[in-house]
Structure 1
Amino acid sequence: MGDLESDVEVPRFFLCPISLEIMKDPVILSTGITYDRDSIEKWLFSQKNDVCPVTKQVVVDIDLTPNHTLRRLIQSWCTINASSGIERFPTPRLPISKPEIVRLLKDTKSPQLQLKSLKRLKTIVMENEKNKRLVESVSAADYLAGILSTGAGEISGVDGFVSTGVDEAICILYHLKLSGNGLKSLFGITENFVETLTRVMQRSASYESRAYAVMLLKSMFEVAEPIQVTSLSTEFFKELVHILVDQISQKATKAALKLLISVCPWGRNRIKAAEAGVVPVLIDTLLDTTEKRLSEMIIVILDQVCQSAEGRSDLLKHGGGLAVVSKKILRVSPVASERAVRILYSVAMFSGTARVLEEMVQLGVVGKLFLVLQVDCGSKMKEKAKEILKMHARVWKRSSCISNDLISSYPS
């Protein structure tokens, strides 16, 4: 719009209540108030507000109805006042509608139309946040989960159509960025949707689809109920280990680690994770990485899994297990240091054989525990280090690998 002359008065009802500018594309919210489309979409979807700015009512229906009458009035007013430098707004392009999305979803059930419909749906979802919420509001997750449940069981790497349909469906479902309630509903959409995503991780030839599967699972388990967390299969953990081994992408690796952190506080899951071979893979990753956040997550998981006999056994079988855990103390973060000391405590308390205790001395683990007592760090960590040293003080005092200075400083 050009510069307005001082004697041109804009009717107040032409102005958007949010931007206070003339509305280019007036739309009516479910609360009955008209806003400019760009302003109200930004308010609802980008800023994630759920109330009407004017009435303060909670917005339940996010569908926006074009106010054609008001738009025509504004356009006519602009034309009449063109001599004052006011430009006429063009008629806006019609946005995607709920009926169109519903039609696309129904078409996904047809083998002939499925792929074309999914590709169109993906374009819509990727366009903006408003489209994501609109697609979610018409129960798109049900359709997409159905495609995945059917297709994931048939993925063979040979049937290109089935595989492609699964790839498109999981891409859309991940990028929908479902709300908390939407994520919770995924658990009950099919008989066991977690198993479906596990099969995608296991059978899909696409690294991208496997990454989307683990990232979607990570989001789901952030809102999961305990019963859903405690009913996981060993296969689930095996596929997470494969994700870590294959190093599909940094996002997928971090999602797999976060997922393990969220499910391994439960005792049975710790055993399943250990049986799936997670400990040696985590140690190898810890030995190779210098990234602090990655190291912290790995140490947290090792602490959880090493609370099981199976986890501790795998840690001690690995040639670099004790050494790398000890090395990371005071080098990564306070959280990582405290968890690393807890791992050493679990080993000393429950697996402290003569061979293990000697190895802890030779690898410098005992020396690192003494260092913990001498530096400024968390009191809980100091107490745990002191308990470990007291626990096997007689054995370690006899070792020729410990200096007299350290012996004299043993806590009483």
Structure 2
Amino acid sequence: MALENHLYMWQNFRDIGSNPVTNVSGITYDRESIDHWLYKSNNKTCPPHLGKFHVINLIGDLSFPDLQMKTQKKLEAFALENERNWALMFEAGLGKGLISFIISCYEKRESKGLEEALSLFYLFRTPLGKSRGPLAENDEIIKSLMPVSGCDCLRDNVVVKSQAAYAPRVIFQKANPRMLESLKPDFLKNILSHLGELGNICQKGLNSLLHVLLHTCPWGRNRVWMVESGTLFDLIEAEIRSPEKKTTELVLGILYHLCSCADGRAQLLRHKAGIAVVTRPILKVSSMADDRALSIIWLLSKYCGTNEVVEEMLRVGTVAKLSMLMQANCAPHLKENAREILMTHSGVWNGSLSLYVSTLAW
């Protein structure tokens, strides 16, 4: 009966206007809905419609500790009914209210409320990702939300930590470029600290953090801070431990931006598995991974083509992969880049027995 009551109220809110009836108290009903409720369903009373202002009141109830859990369950139940309810709830300001509540729970270290709020936020990830407005423009929301994923009260809850990591990803998708340029180093350090805790976060949580890094790394200052913080080593280790398709694409995308500066390329080459990690996904993951990996190799070939680097490319199979790209059914620009790299160092690689052995062994 409770669910039917809620369904009626939402339907009544949407349909009011065709034949409205207003009682002495000022509450408006739809005549057809009244007939259905009283005569077809054999009810003696008719509930009021649930409109935008009622949702606003529910969102306001999140600020009252005694009502928080009950209110979140109500909002979740309404959201699960249909997508139209989502639109109404966001029109009433659910997104901003929910984030404010998440931040409040984090500051008070209220683990139960924080877990419920993050679960609700994750439920609304699709409409939140499509929205553009106060959430994406508010610097304070971004700054306050990121530490949530590192909250001590969530340390043992892998699922909730992953949902916490998803929150900044949703906001960064529509963030103002001006805001992305002005991020503080502490914010990026907070994200990077989670990359070293792969055992405490699931694959989706890791990918969410990588999405945030991918959105922030194109800006010069962010790129410098990431390189100085040793991000390339963390990314390479993440790829070695979790070679999942989406993770690989994200890691290669970030590595490409970081390798566009000299310090980034130098850091990649300092890792013993740096070139191998970039080479291995070629022709194995996706066309996007091929494009990003080849772009990184092109940068290394052009700006860091020392004898040591060139020999390393031969040893780990990079040259073999480039040769295979030339024969594969792939995009013309990939073949052109592969050809350019091979021609640049043909004096070292041409006719090498190692090339043949690497091709067979890969």
Displacement of 1:150: 4.9
Q: Deviations over 1:77-122 (max 9, x none)?
A: x6xxxxxxxxx3244766755555444444444xxx42x3221221
Q: Which range moved further: 129-138 or 384-393?
A: 129-138
1:133 and 1:336, CA in 2 relative to 1: closer, same or farther beyond 3 A? same
Equivalent position amino acid for 1:138 in 2: A
Displacement of 1:73: 3.8
Are positions 1:136 and 2:121 aligned together?
A: no
Query: Which residue among 183, 187, 200 is the counterpart of 1:232?
Result: 183
Q: Which residues in structure 2 correspond to 1:4-403 (within 5 Å)?
A: 27=12, 29=14, 32-33=17-18, 66-67=29-30, 69-74=31-36, 88-91=40-43, 98-109=52-63, 113-114=64-65, 116-127=66-77, 128=80, 129-150=83-104, 152=106, 154=107, 160-161=109-110, 163-177=111-125, 178-179=127-128, 182-189=131-138, 192-206=140-154, 207=157, 208-247=159-198, 248-397=201-350, 401-402=354-355
SS in 2 for 1:122: helix
CA distance in 2, matches of 1:394, 1:364: 17
1:245 and 1:392, CA in 2 relative to 1: closer, same or farther beyond 3 A? same
Q: Deviations over 1:167-218 (max 9, x none)?
A: 44444444344456855312445x5211111221233431455433321221
Q: Give the aligned partner of residue 4 of structure 2.
A: none
Q: Deviations over 1:280-324 (max 9, x none)?
A: 232223233453333223222222222222332232122222113
Q: Give the aligned partner of residue 23 of structure 2.
A: none
1:118 and 1:372, CA in 2 relative to 1: closer, same or farther beyond 3 A? same
Displacement of 1:221: 1.8
RMSD: 3.5
1:384 and 1:145, CA in 2 relative to 1: closer, same or farther beyond 3 A? same
Q: Is the 8 A contact 2:29 2:49 kept in 1?
A: no
**TM-score (normalizing by structure 2):** 0.77
CA distance in 2, matches of 1:287, 1:272: 23
CA distance in 1, matches of 2:151, 2:290: 38
1:118 and 1:284, CA in 2 relative to 1: closer, same or farther beyond 3 A? same
Gaps of 5+ in 2: 1-6, 21-26
Q: Give the aligned partner of residue 50 of structure 1.
A: none
Equivalent position amino acid for 1:367 in 2: A
CA distance in 2, matches of 1:66, 1:250: 48
Q: Is the 8 A contact 1:211 1:252 kept in 2?
A: yes
Gaps of 5+ in 1: 1-22, 36-63, 79-87, 407-412
1:335 and 1:187, CA in 2 relative to 1: closer, same or farther beyond 3 A? closer
CA distance in 1, matches of 2:282, 2:57: 57
Q: Is the 8 A contact 2:227 2:258 kept in 1?
A: yes
Q: Give the aligned partner of residue 4 of structure 1.
A: none
1:348 and 1:101, CA in 2 relative to 1: closer, same or farther beyond 3 A? same
Q: Which range moved further: 200-209 or 316-325?
A: 200-209
Q: Is the 8 A contact 2:119 2:163 kept in 1?
A: yes
Structure showing greater radius of gyration is 1
CA distance in 1, matches of 2:120, 2:174: 20
Displacement of 1:352: 2.0
CA distance in 1, matches of 2:280, 2:131: 42
CA distance in 1, matches of 2:52, 2:287: 50
CA distance in 2, matches of 1:303, 1:250: 21
CA distance in 2, matches of 1:137, 1:344: 47
**TM-score (normalizing by structure 1):** 0.69
Percent of counterpart pairs with the same letter? 27
CA distance in 1, matches of 2:18, 2:204: 41
Displacement of 1:130: 4.8
Displacement of 1:227: 0.8
Displacement of 1:330: 0.9
Structure showing the higher helix proportion among its residues:
2
